[in-house]
Amino acid sequence: MDTTIHFSSNHPYDHKLAAFKYYINGMITMPLTEQAVKQEWNKIVIMAHNNGFPEQIVHKLRNKLTTKRDQTSQMQLMQQHNKKWTTFTYYGLAV
């Protein structure tokens, strides 16, 4: 799990971040305890360091993914709250 595309490689930037997006997204979406989240985050930061990534990049990525998740949750709550129901009376086929 500790090996990703190195930051100094000639790959596209999005490809370099793909593994970190995957790991961070898993960390923020899974029902983990606070201690487990801290442990997972430490592993991600160490992996970034070992593969030449500046630490600020993974911090920004975590903030971005967390904000996106929170906004999506708020939108879903608003959509559920704004639902309106109505009833229609069915009279059958006109003969």
What SS3 class is residue 5?
Answer: coil
Could you give the CA distance from residue 53 to residue 30 in angstroms, rounded to a whole number?
A: 25
Residue 48 forms part of a structural domain? yes
What SS3 class is residue 54?
Answer: coil
pLDDT for residue 74: 84
Could you give the CA distance from residue 77 to residue 71 in angstroms, rounded to a whole number?
A: 10
Residue 85 forms part of a structural domain? no
Q: What's the structural domain count of the chain?
A: 1
pLDDT for residue 85: 76
Residue 53 forms part of a structural domain? yes
pLDDT for residue 1: 64
Global pTM reads 0.77
Q: Can you give the residue range of the structural domain that contains 44?
A: 13-77
Residue 84 forms part of a structural domain? no
Residue 33 forms part of a structural domain? yes
Residue 63 forms part of a structural domain? yes
Residue 90 forms part of a structural domain? no
* Structure tokens belonging to residue 39: 């442990």
Residue 19 forms part of a structural domain? yes
Tally of CB atoms within 10 A around 17: 20
Kindly list the averaged pLDDT for each block of 10 residues, start to end, along the chain of length 95: 92 97 95 96 97 97 94 82 79 74
